[in-house]
Structure 1
Amino acid sequence: MPIYEPAEDSYLMSEALRKELPKLLKVNPNLRLLEMGAGSGINLVTAKSSGIKIDNILGVDVNSKAVKYCRSLGFKVILSNLFSKIDGQRFDVIVFNPPYLPLDEKEPKNSRRETTGGKKGNEIIIKFLKQAKKHLTKEGKIFLITSSHSESVNFNGLGFKAKEVANKKLFFEEIFVWRIAKNSQLIKNHAKIVKVV
């Protein structure tokens, strides 16, 4: 499987991170960042150039070629399907440019892993968000790409609050970068319910 080369979505995420990470670093200069689906390493490089210490950056990819390539850039990167090999670690920032397009039977099977997010396009995103909760610090942020082609994600229903921080209109779709945090109000309400029961 080839490495996912940077495209419009990669550059949009990189641009958003260059704006957002310095703000977060002012609050916490020791940010720990995980990039899910590191691919070409573009956002690992963006994280480092934004001021995150290289020892605090971890990349993950399902593609062994991407893992090898990102390691050659000097980053710690592990082979993992989502969080399967991330044992109990928590991060202040998690970045993910997921496969987000709905299944297209005409697309060659060998490229679907890079582009297809499931039948509706959002299944991998939903699976990721459900798993990400336990790997995100209390004040942690997720930066996530979605597309107008895939079914929308109910962030609130998954226990998150989300704000669009960047978007780009292309002739065939619109892509979005979301800054996502745990919904503390939902967490407080859940804690009350647990205590009452």
Structure 2
Amino acid sequence: MVYAPREDSFLLLRNMRGVILPRHKVKRVLDVGTGSGILAKEAAKFSKQVIACDIDKETIEKLKKENKNKKIKFIYSDLFSNIKNKFDLIVFNPPYLPSKKIKDKEIDGGKNGTEVIEKFLEKAKDFLNKNGKILLLCSSLNKNLTRLFKKYRYNYKKIDEENLFFEKLYVYELSK
């Protein structure tokens, strides 16, 4: 099932378009958990190549059929399982809602809402170019985010936030 763009997607899109892409030379972009492909499509306007991956095979097949942009390649991948290259920018709008059991892989982030985020952080550096950046969307419902950034030795800064009725969304810029 395709994750339809919502407030979180649009917040990440705004920061990718307005903060990262104009400021950095970005040739290769990785969109992890692409969902609707909205971030990949925007990134293709500013870069030479975009790899957009998702854990949902049906989503990837649908996006492949609809895709008319030769700069974008849609692939099935559980986070980095089928990713081979390094990137100037990695964007990730993860499943971040806390839940005891992961029932809906689009939105359930595990016990503290950070299980998927932690798996991502553990491997993401291996796929970043020397001066590469990560844009990561998180929620005020997520616990111990900065502890995770420190644990995996990322430089980090919060670059935007948005208040919703039951949570606050944050966009973090991470680097090696």
Q: Confirm or deny a common fold (TM above 0.5).
A: yes
Equivalent position of 2:22 in the other structure? 22
Q: SS at 1:21's partner residue?
A: helix
Is 1:92 aligned to 2:88, yes or no? Answer: yes
Q: Any conservation in 2 of the 1:38–1:70 contact (CA below 8 Å)?
A: no
Query: Aligned residues: percent identity?
Result: 39
Residue 22 (structure 1) shift: 1.1
The 5 A counterparts of 1:142-181 are: 142-153=134-145, 154=147, 155-181=149-175
Q: What's the RMSD between the two structures over aligned residues?
A: 1.5
Q: Any conservation in 2 of the 1:34–1:91 contact (CA below 8 Å)?
A: yes
1:130-156 deviations in whole A, cap 9, x for unaligned? 111111111110000000111132212
Q: SS at 1:102's partner residue?
A: coil
Q: SS at 2:162's partner residue?
A: strand
The structure 2 residue matched to 1:60, chosen from 53, 56, 59, is 53
The 5 A counterparts of 1:1-197 are: 2-19=1-18, 20-24=20-24, 28=25, 31-49=27-45, 51-53=46-48, 56-71=49-64, 72-74=66-68, 75-87=72-84, 89-103=85-99, 109=103, 112-153=104-145, 154=147, 155-182=149-176
Q: Any conservation in 1 of the 2:50–2:73 contact (CA below 8 Å)?
A: yes
Residue 35 (structure 1) shift: 0.3
Q: Any conservation in 2 of the 1:121–1:151 contact (CA below 8 Å)?
A: yes
1:101-150 deviations in whole A, cap 9, x for unaligned? 11056x9x3xx211111111111101101111111111110000000111
Answer with 1 or 2: which has the greater Rg: 1
Q: 4+ runs of 1 displaced by more than 6 Å?
A: none
**By percentage of residues, which structure has more helix?**
1
1:64-110 deviations in whole A, cap 9, x for unaligned? 122123222233111010111113x11110000000011056x9x3x
State the aligned residue count. 169
Q: Any conservation in 2 of the 1:67–1:79 contact (CA below 8 Å)?
A: yes
TM-score (norm 1): 0.81
Q: Any conservation in 2 of the 1:91–1:136 contact (CA below 8 Å)?
A: yes
Q: What amino acid sits opposite 1:11 in the alignment?
A: F
Name structure 1 gaps, 5 residues minimum.
183-197
Q: What amino acid sits opposite 2:171 in the alignment?
A: V
